[in-house]
Chain A
């Protein structure tokens, strides 16, 4: 029966699948292609010529560097906040029982289910009502709202598999709370945290909507790209930056995928 499954799918299905994948990924390849074009004002096809000069030009543009630095800073701090709060929250929800546990679990996940525009408007009006000036920190806070969800979701799934008796066993053998966290909890949830942190970083790095509402004068890399598309000059610079953004966000997500996959085997080995 198994061999039946491995036989070829109908030709029509194959074509549809290839067509679907092509529709998804060819536009991305085009972005890469136009990073090398010699024509700077419009995206004509095929490109009249290929050049590497846009990489040098991008390298020398201070506004690119400013946007990139801001994005990396925001993503790093938002991820750090999310790692601490998300882990604590996951520990509370999965290891203890208390009144309103399910509600808290739902409320933590809600920001990622809400459209970004609603989170953005809500945060913007909250900040202005509280007279908090829009700054670097308001962007960080905005990003932290959805970064926490990613860390929380990863951590809570792993916490459920770390049986309560492991923690009791550690305490029983003489380890205090801190030692138990360091020697038992962290090694068991470590890969989940790393994966959650990387996903959070990637999410924060390419976030546009919430940033638009919570940012002041600063622009993060995606916002900078959005502004740049309107300008008719040096368009390929945007494509070069797009390539960088893709690499910076894609690699952590890929790593996160492999980490959690291996983590399953490690955590499952004790069962």
Chain B
């Protein structure tokens, strides 16, 4: 089956800055794909390479089997939802949504009907006569979505789509985006720096750092089995155990990652690994207590369920965890 988006050894260098450096990527048709990374990691440049706003300095890009290098944005069957929405301030909402159809030369009546349908799909029916300035951030986001989807793109690109929304709206939009993607069957590629967003929405995630993909996999893969120190650290806040600690546990490795919620404080079962340590700090986070434990000078964070008793600062404790939760990494 033809990949929706294919990157072969793609680079985009700005002078000496390697924004995207030799990236290989294959996004399947109908997939909800997330590109996750800190700012400056190259994820947005990758998105812009797909949209056609940037041209690669090396490598090959295909969109549904068609070569994309040298093809301008207006001749690609992809559409973008911009981070700042980029709604046209001088046009009504209806004309904003109908813009793509208008420049294609589709008649006024037909394009307005299609735009109305698209607005209904994003739950903004009857908002057509308003101006972008009269809408809230969440509504503008929906308009931007409708404006892109009305063109029936093969791939929809979303640049930090929920970044400007408040928490509650963000969670609601996450669900809506997900169900919209399922019902339309369009390939969604979205860029985010929020690991929670990527984990909850995406079918697969590519974690970017320094212009390269650090790890590509399902959310479970990325979260449970981080392959590099960067991924372990960026996706959630894993503990990284040094080789010295690993050796003490009887697992020879350069480093290993351990999720804070995989550790229990207190008595251990026979098959579990244990580490002694001293509690140095604790804070209540609602669902869990976050406890910092010092083990031979290495700080280990434990997320202990709020129902469990919390040891006092200075208390000597045993940390217990299963060997299966310990993920070995190459030195990185």
Contacts and interface: CB of A to CB of B under 8 A. Distances in A.
B151 to A, nearest CB: 7
B103 A188 contact: no
Contact of A168 (B53, B89, B90, B147): B53
A166 B72 contact: no
Given A166-B88, A270-B87, A173 B99 contact: yes
Interface string A157-185: 00000010110111111111001000110
A165 B82 CA distance: 8
A238 B57 CA distance: 67
A267 interface: yes
A269 interface: yes
Given A176-B74, A183-B103, A168 B86 contact: yes
A266 B79 contact: no
Most buried by A among B74, B82, B87: B74
Interface string A216-237: 0000000000000000000000
A163 B51 contact: no
Interface residues of A, number: 23
Contact of B74 (A166, A172, A184): A172
A160 to B, nearest CB: 14
A188 B104 contact: no
Interface in B68-111: 72-74, 78-80, 82-84, 86-91, 99-100, 102-104
Contact of B100 (A173, A266, A267): A173
Contacts of A269: 89, 131-133
A166 B82 CA distance: 9
Contact of B73 (A166, A168, A187): A168
A270 B133 contact: yes
Interface of B: 51-53, 72-74, 78-80, 82-84, 86-91, 99-100, 102-104, 131-133, 147-148, 151
15 contacts: A165-B83, A168-B53, A169-B82, A170-B88, A171-B73, A172-B51, A172-B52, A172-B78, A173-B74, A174-B74, A174-B103, A174-B104, A266-B89, A267-B89, A269-B89
